[in-house]
Amino acid sequence: MSKTVNCRVVSKGVAEGEALVCSKPIGFNFGVDIPTGKIIEHGHELEGISIKDKVLIFPYGKGSTGGSYVVYQVAVEGTGPAAIINLNTEVIIACGAIMGGIPVVDHMEENPYDIIENGDWVKVDAVNGTVTITKKGEN
């Protein structure tokens, strides 16, 4: 059984995929390998893991404004996430996602860390402002 939660739209679009949940901020500039979509930031909890085609859940972005261009580049290269869910999206992530056409939402009515786990199937409707979660093994 799936659950739908309302949220704020940051970058419009609709996408779905397997959830990749991260409790730490992500710095896209020098933290993500563009050709592979893998996190390359040393010591990061997702180091070595690809964000390609995932619904990437992380609290917010960090680092310099060059991160916007990296978000855009992974979108163009096809190595970026299908969609992004943040607790609070800041300008770095928003700009790159808007330019790259990656759906982004934040300010969910329920804390995403309480209701989404790695491997859940998540649909982000960043047109109507909803996130639908199907728990792993229930789809």
Q: What is the pLDDT of residues 115-125, one digit of tens each?
A: 999 999 999 99
The reported pLDDT for the residue numbered 20 is 98
Number of domains, the chain: 1
The reported pLDDT for the residue numbered 139 is 63
Burial class of residue 39 (count of CB atoms within 10 Å of its CB; 0-12, 13-18, 19+): buried
CATH number, domain of 10, equals 3.50.30.10
The reported pLDDT for the residue numbered 48 is 98
Looking at 23, 50, 64, 68, which residue is catalytic? Answer: 64
2 is catalytic: no
Percent of the chain surpassing pLDDT 70: 99
Would you say residue 16 lies in a domain?
yes
Would you say residue 30 lies in a domain?
yes
Report DSSP letters for 35-58, one per residue. TT-BB--TT-TTBT-B-TTSEEEE
Q: What is the pLDDT of residues 3-51, one digit of tens each?
A: 999 999 999 999 999 999 999 999 999 999 999 999 999 999 999 999 9
Model's pTM, two decimal places? 0.97
Domain carrying residue 60 = 2-134
